[in-house]
Each structure stands twice: as structure tokens, then as C-alpha cells.
């Protein structure tokens, strides 16, 4: 998946039909995996800031201008914007596919087998474990605020939200300390047991490589033709 | 008498900020005993618990586990002898699955392979959670998480089990289920609690820690029957609760 995204990012801008092919490939994978389209769309909301940025690019970039629908747009900005849109969408779609088809534990053990430093894998594991706890804590704090007659209204509520964020940070930090104590109590000495899982078979490797290989094929074909 | 499993003598401790929490605590716990450590908030109960497995080291006095003094050089053995179940299971359970979490302690002691699997299964069976081994802790109910937290410590097969408020935040049924599990365990146990009926149900002997010292140490029924004493140390039986005299000679 990572290799696929890397290849997509490395594809030179301007070869638009290459990107369309990539999109088709990832859509096929999503279809085969039978992911519910609504979930995929909901999760794609994370891309919105990038989309806005990409849409703005043609208006603010310098360089030779082209006229599109009666507007003077920068050619370089247009290319970069469309490129960002394609690459971003393909990247987000790939991540969503990985996240929805592979249990978190296997993603983590996979990362550690791919020789990602243990420290990073452990941090990711802790984040996955505690994100719910912290979000829950945040929700309880918000309900407690509202129960005392507080309404969040625009910019004037920011100081309160900032203080709440500070309190939440301290609570999360203190929980981190308590978790560490509990780990020490069970004999933790700075090394996590490895996430043991069967080594990937050749077949699994093959299935896993389908995406990057198809991207390489598309890339080479595009290069030969142009 | 045999050598005590837990021997605390003259332990005093002050936090780095100068606040003194313990002023010379003495407590002996013998094999197979189940003891309740009672005391109001801020009495130093948690501080004392952190001394038992050497998270904190005493400023004066000593703590011994089956004769071995708790000090920096033998922390590894101490941590495998003392199992602490913390109050908030979310502090204790941090691995992706229940099975991984229960395996964490024994794994740190160097146990692997089949023996590790055996220990994990035994511990989960003891708390009735074997069906949940492959679930993520965050998807369990609070009572179930508390049970798994107990299993994570049982898997280390400690000499003494220390529980911090095992009945807190549980609904009545979960509270009773935990009591049944703890009653079934054949293990030396020190239970920190404010829940006086729980102490009466599970522990033959109780001690009161108040303002950093042990102020009472006797049979749980007799201790709770001494209204004057428990009131003095901010402990009270719940409203409507009356000691049943038939429980006196347990």
C-alpha cells in the first residue's frame, strides 16, 4: 500500500490518464474488498482542507495564465492543484482501504516486521489504544461544562475551550504516568514483547504486491507511450 | 509462625515536594490471609500500595516480600511476587487485545511459548473471561475490564495480590461477580477499599490506615462493630446497613 502511494506520488504531473488509471485500480480494490461506500465517503472528509487548498492554487499561483470558463487561472497553479487533488485522493483512498480491511493489530505487527523502529510502532499502538479513552474524557468534560449552563458560541468560547484542552492534556499526561506505573508493576523494563504473528506467506506477499506492481506497469506503459 | 508474605516495618515516606504521607507503618500479612486496608481519602493507602512493589522506596523502615527486602537491586523479583491491580482498568490495560495484555506481565518475567499460553488461559479462566481473549480492551464493559485487569496480574502467579478499590464504579451485579472471583482465589490478598461491607464479605482481618499510620488491626467484624473507632477515622457503614451478628465468628 505504501509502495503504491509512493509510486503515485512519484508520477510526474501532467500525465492525467495515468492518475485516472491509478484511481480505477484503487476503486477496483475497494469494490473487491466490499467496503461500504458511505463509510469510505465519510472517512474521506479528512481530505477537505487539501481540496480547498488545491482549488485555491490556480487563483494564487503566478506564471502564464490560461482562461477557463472566463477566468484567468495560472497554468502552473492549475497543474499543481489538479495533481494535488489526484495524489491526495488516491493516498486517502489507499489509507482507508488498508485501515478498513486490516485489523489494527496486524497493521502494527506488519510495521514492526517491516523494520519500522519499535519505538514508533509502540507509540502508534498506545495511540490506538487510548484515543477512545481521551475522546471519551473530552466528551465527559464537555457535558460537564454544558451541564453548568455553558454554551459554545463562536470565537468567544475559545478561551474556555483552550483551558479545557489544557486540562485534558494534563489529564492525559497523568494517565500516561499511571499507565507507566502499572506497566512497571508488571515487570516492564523498557522493552515490549514483540507482537508475534505468523510470518507472511509468499501468497500473501503476492496479494500485497498487486497494487504496487500494477502501478509500476501503468507507470512504465505511460512512459513508453509518451 | 511461618515467615510473613508481606512484612512492612516502620515505613515512613515523604513525597519529593515535602508532603509526608506515611509515618511509620507496621503490617504483617501471612500466607493465605485476605486483609482489607481501610482508611479515609488521603490517608496514604495508595502511597503504601506503591511501596509494596517498590514503585516507591521507603524513606525509613523496610518492606519485605517472603523475606526479600524491596530495594532497587531486586525489583525484578519483587514485581513478579507482588501483583497490583490498579483502580482504573484503563490505566492497566493498554495492549491491542486482552490476550496480549494478560501475557504482558509473564512475558516480562521471561516466560514464553506454551507456558505463557497456559498462564494466560488459566488467568482468564479464573476471572471467567476466556471467551474475550481476542477482543480489544476498549470494547469491553467496565466490569469486564476490571476482571481482565485482575487476570493480567494473576498470570504472573504472584505471592500476594494487592487490589486498589476493586469494587469502585461497578454495578451491583458486577460488584458481586468480582467478589465471587476474589473469594475463589487461593492467594494471599491485600485489598484497599472504602467499601466496608465488601471488606466484611471478603476479608477475615482488617486494618485502618489513618493519617499515615496503622490505627487498628483486628478481625473485620469486630472492627466494624466498633462504631466509635471507625467514625473517628471517617469511615461509616452505608445507610440502612446493620452488621449481622451471625457473621461475627467467621
ipTM of the complex: 0.75
Q: Do A185 and B95 touch (CB under 8 A)?
A: no
For residue A198, pLDDT beyond 60: no
Burial of A187 (0-12, 13-18, 19+ CB in 10 A): buried
Please list, residue by residue across B195-230, b when 16 or more beta carbons sit within 10 angstroms of its beta carbon and e when fewer do.
bbbbbbbbbebbbbbbebebbbeeebbebbeeeebb
Secondary structure (3-state) at A62:
coil
In chain B, the number of structural domains is 1
Average pLDDT of the residues of chain A: 78
Residue of A nearest to B157 (CA): A186
* Closest C-alpha to B127, from B56, B77, B183: B183
CB contacts of B92 in chain A (<8 Å) are: 179, 182
Q: What is the pLDDT of residues B177-207, one digit of tens each?
A: 999 999 999 999 999 998 999 999 999 999 9
For residue A73, pLDDT beyond 70: yes
Please list, residue by residue across A32-65, b when 16 or more beta carbons sit within 10 angstroms of its beta carbon and e when fewer do.
eeebeeeebeebeeebeebeeebeebbeebeeeb
Q: What is the pLDDT of residues B18-75, one digit of tens each?
A: 999 999 999 999 999 999 999 998 899 989 999 998 889 999 999 999 999 999 898 8
CB contacts of A186 in chain B (<8 Å) are: 79, 83, 104-105, 108, 152-153, 156
- Quick one: pLDDT band at residue B161, thresholds 50, 70, 90? very high
Residue B228: phi, psi to the nearest 5?
-55, -45
pTM value is: 0.76
Which H or E element spans position B62?
strand B60-65
Q: Is residue B240 part of a domain?
A: yes
Q: pLDDT value at position B58?
A: 94
CB B242 within 8 A of CB B235: no
Average pLDDT of the residues of chain B: 92
Give mean pLDDT, residues A117-129: 83
Q: Is residue B1 part of a domain?
A: no
CB contacts of B84 in chain A (<8 Å) are: 182, 185
CB contacts of B76 in chain A (<8 Å) are: 187, 189
Q: pLDDT value at position A31?
A: 82
DSSP B242: -
* Closest C-alpha to A47, from A90, A11, A79: A90
Cβ under 8 Å to A: B residues 65-84: 76, 79-80, 82-84
Place of cell 504472584: B158
Q: pLDDT value at position B138?
A: 83
Q: Do A104 and B96 touch (CB under 8 A)?
A: yes
Q: Do A132 and B138 touch (CB under 8 A)?
A: yes
Secondary structure (3-state) at A179:
helix
Q: Is residue B133 part of a domain?
A: yes
For residue B250, pLDDT beyond 70: no
Burial of B2 (0-12, 13-18, 19+ CB in 10 A): exposed
Burial of B18 (0-12, 13-18, 19+ CB in 10 A): exposed
DSSP B10: E
User: How many Å lie between the alpha carbon of A191 and the closest alpha carbon of chain B?
Assistant: 8
CB B205 within 8 A of CB B29: no
- Selected for mutation to probe chain A from B77, B104, B123, B156 (highest A CB count within 10 Å) is B104
**Which residue range forms the structural domain that includes residue B168?**
6-247
CA distance B235 to B199: 12
Helix, strand and coil content of chain A, in percent to the nearest 5, comes to 75, 5, 20
For residue A200, pLDDT beyond 70: no
Q: Is residue B210 part of a domain?
A: yes
CA distance B6 to A213: 63
Residue of B nearest to A130 (CA): B94
CATH number at residue B162: 3.40.50.300
Query: Which residues make beta-bridge pairs with B213?
Result: B210
Amino acid at each position: 500500500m505504501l509502495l503504491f502511494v509512493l509510486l503515485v506520488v512519484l508520477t510526474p504531473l501532467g500525465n492525467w490518464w495515468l492518475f485516472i488509471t491509478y484511481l480505477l485500480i484503487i476503486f477496483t480494490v475497494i469494490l473487491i474488498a466490499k467496503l461500504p461506500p458511505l463509510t469510505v465517503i465519510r472517512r474521506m472528509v479528512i481530505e477537505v482542507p487539501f481540496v480547498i487548498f488545491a482549488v485555491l492554487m490556480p487563483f494564487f499561483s503566478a506564471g502564464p495564465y490560461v482562461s477557463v470558463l472566463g477566468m484567468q487561472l495560472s497554468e502552473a497553479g492549475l497543474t499543481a492543484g489538479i495533481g494535488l487533488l489526484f495524489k491526495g485522493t488516491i493516498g486517502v483512498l489507499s489509507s482507508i482501504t488498508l485501515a478498513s480491511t486490516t485489523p489494527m493489530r496486524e497493521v502494527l505487527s506488519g510495521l514492526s516486521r517491516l523494520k519500522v523502529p519499535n519505538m514508533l510502532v509502540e507509540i502508534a499502538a498506545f495511540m490506538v489504544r487510548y484515543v477512545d479513552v481521551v475522546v471519551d474524557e473530552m466528551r465527559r468534560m464537555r457535558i460537564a461544562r454544558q451541564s453548568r449552563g455553558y454554551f459554545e458560541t463562536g470565537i468567544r468560547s475559545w478561551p474556555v475551550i483552550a483551558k479545557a484542552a489544557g486540562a485534558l492534556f494534563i489529564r492525559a499526561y497523568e494517565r500516561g504516568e499511571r499507565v507507566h506505573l502499572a506497566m512497571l508493576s508488571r515487570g516492564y523494563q523498557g522493552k515490549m514483547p514483540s507482537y508475534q504473528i505468523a510470518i507472511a506467506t509468499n501468497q500473501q506477499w503476492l496479494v500485497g504486491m498487486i497494487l504496487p506492481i500494477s502501478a509500476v506497469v501503468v507507470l512504465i506503459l505511460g512512459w513508453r507511450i509518451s | 509462625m511461618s515467615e510473613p508474605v508481606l512484612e512492612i516495618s516502620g515505613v515512613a515516606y515523604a513525597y519529593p515536594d515535602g508532603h509526608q504521607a506515611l509515618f511509620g507503618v507496621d503490617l504483617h500479612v501471612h500466607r493465605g490471609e485476605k486483609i482489607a486496608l481501610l482508611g479515609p481519602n488521603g490517608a496514604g493507602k495508595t502511597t503504601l500500595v506503591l511501596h509494596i512493589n517498590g514503585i516507591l522506596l521507603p524513606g525509613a523502615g523496610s518492606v519485605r516480600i517472603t523475606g526479600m527486602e524491596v530495594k532497587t537491586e531486586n525489583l525484578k523479583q519483587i514485581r513478579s511476587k507482588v501483583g497490583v491491580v490498579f483502580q482504573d482498568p484503563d490505566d492497566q490495560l493498554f495492549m491491542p487485545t486482552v490476550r496480549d495484555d494478560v501475557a504482558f506481565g509473564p512475558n516480562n518475567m521471561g516466560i514464553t511459548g506454551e507456558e505463557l499460553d497456559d498462564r494466560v488461559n488459566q488467568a482468564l479462566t479464573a476471572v471467567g473471561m476466556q471467551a474475550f481473549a481476542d477482543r480489544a480492551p476498549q470494547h469491553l464493559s467496565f466490569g469486564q475490564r476490571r476482571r481482565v485487569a485482575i487476570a493480567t496480574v494473576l498470570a504472573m502467579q504472584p505471592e500476594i495480590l494487592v487490589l486498589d478499590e476493586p469494587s469502585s464504579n461497578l454495578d451491583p451485579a458486577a460488584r458481586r461477580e468480582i467478589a465471587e472471583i476474589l473469594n475463589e482465589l487461593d492467594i494471599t490478598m491485600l485489598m484497599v477499599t472504602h467499601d466496608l461491607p465488601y471488606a466484611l464479605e471478603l476479608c477475615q482481618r482488617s486494618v485502618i490506615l489513618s493519617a499515615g499510620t496503622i490505627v487498628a488491626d483486628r478481625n473485620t467484624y469486630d472492627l466494624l462493630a466498633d462504631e466509635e473507632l471507625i467514625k473517628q477515622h471517617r469511615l461509616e457503614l452505608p445507610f440502612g446497613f446493620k452488621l449481622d451478628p451471625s457473621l461475627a465468628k467467621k
